[in-house]
Structure 1
Amino acid sequence: MRKTTYLLPVLVLVVIGALSSLFIVDEREKALVLQFGKVVSVKEEPGLYFKVPMIQEVVTYDDRILSREVGPLEITPSDDRRLIVDAFARYRITDVVQFRQAVGAGGIQLAEQRLDNILRSQTREVLGKVSSNDILSSDRATLMLRIRNAAITEARSLGLEVIDVRLKRTDLPQANLEATFARMRAEREREAADEIARGKEAALRIQAQADRTVVELVSDANRQSEIIRGEADAKRNGIFAAAYGADQEFFEFYRSLEAYRKALLEGNSSMVMSPDSEFFNYLKSANPDQ
């Protein structure tokens, strides 16, 4: 009975010691076995492992791809047009020993603070060499790749691999929005005024061309009409001359009738002339008694 009393505590201590010497590495983790703060073993494969109780400790780190949001960052591109940029990065711990040496007991929290500094520095460096139009255009994918490549080198000293960097939002500072909108409005108004001026110039040019064409057409038509009229008058005079030469008395009779038609119009039939005037020769009867 007395032996059982002594063995039971010992057995309990043995069981506790055995359990405390066991640890499990999950497939989503990597583990470091530390002895007095120094790394003595790296466990990267999932499974059940042993450590020395009370002397060694186990520190685990996430082996998955992690995300890190980079807060709003004010940058000044090459055209001095300030922008507010939000970004995020995806990274993973590739070298847990180097990671432990770089951040110590600070762990992920300290590592992400240092990664933030790297991303902010490289974002300012890359975007500060291009214009704001390049940042806002479709070429920003190239810029994000340059930021990632620059951050990879610096993050490697932390035992981290930067997998991707993305710019989520790129806006103007609130204080600059109104001034920017006013400048954009002025530029559009100037472009509209230039288009209107060019349109008016083109309209005047077309109108002048049309007016000149009208003048040329009317002048040519008048010239042709004068030629036709001259030819017709010449032909008419020729006919009159031929008729006069063929029968002089008939021609004189015809001319007299034309004179009567023009002189004896309605409302204009009062004439004061001598009865023996030659104007009435063809109105007189051949018989004096009639």
Structure 2
Amino acid sequence: MRKATYILPVLVLVVIAALSSLFIVDEREKALVLQFGRVVSVKEAPGLAFKIPLIQEVVTYDDRILSREVGPLEITPSDDRRLIVDAFARYRIVDVVQFRQAVGTGGVQQAEQRLDNILRSQTREVLGQVTSNDILSTDRAALMLRIRNAAITEANALGLEVIDVRLKRTDLPQANLEATFSRMRAEREREAADEIARGEEAAQRLRALADRTVVELESDANRQSEIIRGEADAKRNAIFADAFGADPEFFEFYRSLAAYRGALLEGNSTMVLSPDSDFFNYLKSSTPDR
């Protein structure tokens, strides 16, 4: 009975010690076994692993590809146009021993802070060597690759592998943005004024050309009408001359009738003529005096 009393606590302690010496390595993690803060083994294969209870401890780190957002960063390209850049990086822990030695107990949080400093420094250095147009153009893919390659060496010292770096947003600072919009608006207004001035100039030329064309057409029409009128008068006079030459008496009679028609109209001024006047020659007899 006494043996059972002693054996039961011992068995409990043995079970507890056995359980505390076992730990599970997840397939998404890597584990370090530490003894008094010193790394004694690395467990990368998933499954059960062992450690010495109470003396050793286990620290795990994520073995997956991680993302890190780099906050807004103001840079000054070679053309002195300031830009605000947002970026993000993808990385993974490839050497957990070196990672532990580099960041100590700070873990992933401290590593990401140091990685931020690396990415910010390399982003400023790379983008500061090119113009803003290069950053905003399709060349930015090559620039992101340069930032990644420059950050790889420094990140390796932390046991990290930088897989990719991307620029998410590239904008002008608010003050520069407003100044740029004002400059663009002024340029567009100037271009609009130039277009209006060129339009007015073209309109003036067209109006002047149209006015000159009208004057030329009217002048030519008047000239032609005067020529036609002169030719018609000449033909009429020729007809009158031929008619007068063919029958002088009939021509004189016709001219007298025309004179009567014009003189004996209602409302004409009163005329005082002698009855013996030649004006009434054809009203006195059927045969005019010779």
Mean CA deviation greater in 218-227 or 169-178: 169-178
The aligned counterpart of 1:118 is 118
Matches within 5 A, 1:241-252: 241-252=241-252
Mean CA deviation greater in 29-38 or 139-148: 139-148
The aligned counterpart of 1:45 is 45
Q: CA deviation at 1:117?
A: 1.0
Q: CA deviation at 1:190?
A: 1.9
Amino acid at match of 1:19: L
Mean CA deviation greater in 251-260 or 19-28: 251-260
Rate the CA distance shift 1:87–1:264 in 2: closer, same or farther, 3 A: farther
Question: Partners of 2:234 and 2:48 in 1: how far apart?
Answer: 129
Q: CA deviation at 1:268?
A: 2.3
The aligned counterpart of 1:16 is 16
The aligned counterpart of 1:29 is 29
Describe the SS at the equivalent of 1:48.
strand
Amino acid at match of 1:33: V
Rate the CA distance shift 1:195–1:251 in 2: closer, same or farther, 3 A: same
The aligned counterpart of 1:105 is 105
Deviations 1:219-253 (A, max 9, x none): 33333333333333333233223222222222232
Question: Partners of 1:227 and 1:142 in 2: how far apart?
Answer: 83
Q: CA deviation at 1:116?
A: 0.7
The aligned counterpart of 2:206 is 206
Q: CA deviation at 1:24?
A: 0.8
Gaps of 5+ in 2: none
Amino acid at match of 1:218: E
Question: Partners of 1:279 and 1:168 in 2: how far apart?
Answer: 113
Gaps of 5+ in 1: none
Describe the SS at the equivalent of 1:158.
coil
Amino acid at match of 1:46: P
Amino acid at match of 2:217: L
Question: Partners of 2:256 and 2:42 in 1: how far apart?
Answer: 140
Q: CA deviation at 1:214?
A: 2.2
Mean CA deviation greater in 80-89 or 42-51: 80-89
Question: Partners of 2:50 and 2:181 in 1: how far apart?
Answer: 66
The aligned counterpart of 2:193 is 193
Describe the SS at the equivalent of 2:45.
coil
Question: Partners of 1:5 and 1:99 in 2: how far apart?
Answer: 49
Question: Partners of 2:284 and 2:206 in 1: how far apart?
Answer: 68
Rate the CA distance shift 1:43–1:202 in 2: closer, same or farther, 3 A: farther
TM-score by length of 1: 0.80
Describe the SS at the equivalent of 1:270.
coil
Deviations 1:35-88 (A, max 9, x none): 454544333332111233444432211122322222222222344333333333
Mean CA deviation greater in 174-183 or 115-124: 174-183
Mean CA deviation greater in 203-212 or 130-139: 130-139
Q: Tell me, yes or no, if structure 1 residue 95 matches structure 2 residue 95.
A: yes
The aligned counterpart of 1:67 is 67
Mean CA deviation greater in 203-212 or 137-146: 137-146
Question: Partners of 2:130 and 2:278 in 1: how far apart?
Answer: 108
Q: Tell me, yes or no, if structure 1 residue 240 matches structure 2 residue 244.
A: no
Question: Partners of 1:211 and 1:146 in 2: how far apart?
Answer: 67
Amino acid at match of 2:267: G
Amino acid at match of 2:270: S
Question: Partners of 2:259 and 2:134 in 1: how far apart?
Answer: 93
